[in-house]
Structure 1
Amino acid sequence: MNLDGATAERVRRILGSPVVRARAVTDRGYAPNQRWVVRTGAGRSAFVKVARAPLTASWLRAEHAVYSGLSAAFLPELLGWDDDGAEPLLVLEDLTDATWPPPWTRDSVDAVLRTLDEVHATPLDLPVIGTDHHAAAGWPVVAEDPGPFLSLGLCSPAWLDRALPVLLEAATPEALTGTATLHLDVRSDNLCLRGGAAVLFDWNHAALGNPQLDVAFWLPSLHAEGGPRPEDVLDLDPAMAALVAGLFAARAGLPPIPTAPRVRVVQRAQLGTALPWVVRVLDLPPPDGDPV
């Protein structure tokens, strides 16, 4: 994926020097944006992200609003922004030389937890999560149409019939609410480590809510990448495990998204650790007797 001339010119106007080298970034993020690390004739490097669709353009504008409204160590430095009304362009500092997990160590896990504590204590003007948030709809959606979830082969219909009442009761929507600043998309492709702390990217889902949510939605991907089990990282409200597992259970078995084909793959991997987690936390029988 080459950097086209029009995009290169927009970057030149922001950085004040022509782009002489551009490397496409294809191993971060799952939205259909285009990403590059560029170097200018003046020797400056930067990370560039362009939204090519209306939905992702709205997400990029939301992300830019966070960067422009706050300067903090857990944010990359904002170098520039250009919104032509159709395909907004964001330019951030280049953090290629930072540490990008996995692999995970206890020190790196603790670094993310400390950074999330800082995020949660930082006031921002953001939308407030309500009990109608999509994270509350997981197990109710599965109960209404269990086909996509069962198609994943993680349990039998009989096991689901027995477990659903417990899962529905545990996944209380009220557990979503709160006043903490949340990133709401903490995964290894959205963070790096620098100076013993985490730097977080992709703030388009940021909102105000229960601070346990950020940790809870990170833990399944952490474990899937070789990190510790969720309950070995932090003792969370059981509702968190139920809400997280429900969200992935309702989505992982749906058809692939043509513009973002890796999303279902990632959701399936996260469900693969989130479902055993909620089974252990709620003391449910292992699906069909298989070890959890």
Structure 2
Amino acid sequence: MYLHEDETMRIERALGQAVKSAERIQGRGYTNNRRWLVRLAHDRTAFVKHADDAITAEWLRREYEVYDALRLDVVPRVLGWYDDGELPVLVLEDLSDGDWSPPWSREKIDAVLATLRAVAGHAPPPGLPTARSTHMGEDNWPEVAADPKPFLSLGLCSADWLDRALPVLLEAARPEQLDGDSLLHLDVRSDNLCFRAGRAFLFDWNHAAIGNAQFDVAFWLPSLRLEGGPEPEEVADVTPELAALVAGFFAARAGLPVIPQAPMVRDIQRRQLEVALPWAARALGLPTPS
């Protein structure tokens, strides 16, 4: 695919070498970043993420800072970086020859759990926010209680069920459940995972934070089930409070207007809520949402 002159310039400055050809990658990721698989000299390839606007530029800068600090063998290697102050470019190791899920297997699930243990055991890079201070600590069940209409418009439960369940959900999903001192990815899902040689590689690190080591596991479980994997309870022993937090995250967002910079997000949030809400209800001993 044709690269514009300014795109070629940024990518080549990030790499320090010429680009022979580029193939645009479509349908991966929920943001408006431009993504390419580029071919270099000696038939080597690399994955390129190019910011598309001011918001994605800031996200990409955060992601690069985390990559630059990580010393883990379950993240792609950084091959280049260029920032002209407007639209930065990040170049990573090409993992396109790896295995991508779904479908899921027990071996892949175990590989993800092993990766998340390695992440939680890695010293957090300096300057990361606490998970409680990020979007994960905001807009949860209190927002649903204040204005239940967007949530109820999804049709996943009745107003009567919500009235009965809200006191329990509000008590369980307290933001301090996010607290801890472990490195967190905060966006674990199949789009951000690739499998190679029995290991699960984790990428897209712009939301990294410090908090409860179990939260990354808890947040991943609804999407795993949505893609044909086991029920959350069959994968990991997650506290009811974290199940409530995960459900509240999706409940407070899925019914809101589409995000222009990430137009697919609301739909996937609704689908994950279809798993997370009954999971939280089971974990807390609440009636099945109806």
Q: TM-score normalised to the size of structure 1? A: 0.94
Contact 2:187–2:219 (CA<8 Å) still a contact in 1?
Answer: yes
Amino acid at match of 2:203: F
Q: 1:226 aligns with which of 225, 228, 231?
A: 228
Structure 1 residue 258 corresponds to structure 2 residue 283: no
- Alignment deviations for residues 10-61 of structure 1 (CA, whole Å, 9 cap, x no partner): 2223434432221111222101111011112432200000112112111111
Name 1:249's counterpart in structure 2.
Answer: 251
- Aligned-pair distance for 1:9? 2.5
Structure 2: gaps of 5 or more residues = none
Matches of 2:20 and 2:45, distance apart in 1: 10
Give the match's secondary structure for 2:90. strand
Name 2:281's counterpart in structure 1.
Answer: 279
- Alignment deviations for residues 171-205 of structure 1 (CA, whole Å, 9 cap, x no partner): 02111000001111101001101121111111011
Name 1:89's counterpart in structure 2.
Answer: 89
Alignment of 1:128-207 (within 5 A): 128-129=129-130, 131-136=132-137, 137-207=139-209
Name 1:35's counterpart in structure 2.
Answer: 35
Amino acid at match of 2:128: P
Structure 1 residue 25 corresponds to structure 2 residue 25: yes
Give the match's secondary structure for 2:140. helix
Contact 1:128–1:207 (CA<8 Å) still a contact in 2?
Answer: yes
Name 1:69's counterpart in structure 2.
Answer: 69
Contact 1:47–1:91 (CA<8 Å) still a contact in 2?
Answer: yes
Amino acid at match of 2:27: D
Does 266-275 or 10-19 show the bigger shift? Answer: 10-19
Does 24-33 or 224-233 show the bigger shift? Answer: 24-33
Name 1:57's counterpart in structure 2.
Answer: 57
Structure 1 residue 79 corresponds to structure 2 residue 92: no
CA RMSD of aligned residues (A): 1.5
- Alignment deviations for residues 201-243 of structure 1 (CA, whole Å, 9 cap, x no partner): 1101101100111001100001000011111101111111000
Matches of 1:133 and 1:38, distance apart in 2: 34
Give the match's secondary structure for 1:22. strand
Give the match's secondary structure for 2:92. strand
Contact 2:46–2:92 (CA<8 Å) still a contact in 1?
Answer: yes
How many positions carry a matched residue from both structures? 288
Give the match's secondary structure for 1:251. coil
Contact 1:132–1:173 (CA<8 Å) still a contact in 2?
Answer: no
Q: TM-score normalised to the size of structure 2? A: 0.95
Matches of 2:193 and 2:49, distance apart in 1: 15
- Aligned-pair distance for 1:62? 0.9
Contact 1:251–1:267 (CA<8 Å) still a contact in 2?
Answer: yes
Percent identity of equivalent pairs: 58
Matches of 2:161 and 2:96, distance apart in 1: 46
Structure 1: gaps of 5 or more residues = none
Matches of 2:134 and 2:163, distance apart in 1: 25
Matches of 1:130 and 1:268, distance apart in 2: 22
Matches of 2:3 and 2:231, distance apart in 1: 41
Amino acid at match of 1:234: A
- Aligned-pair distance for 1:287? 1.8
Amino acid at match of 2:39: R
Name 2:239's counterpart in structure 1.
Answer: 237
Name 1:127's counterpart in structure 2.
Answer: 128
Q: 1:217 aligns with which of 216, 219, 226?
A: 219
Give the match's secondary structure for 1:247. helix
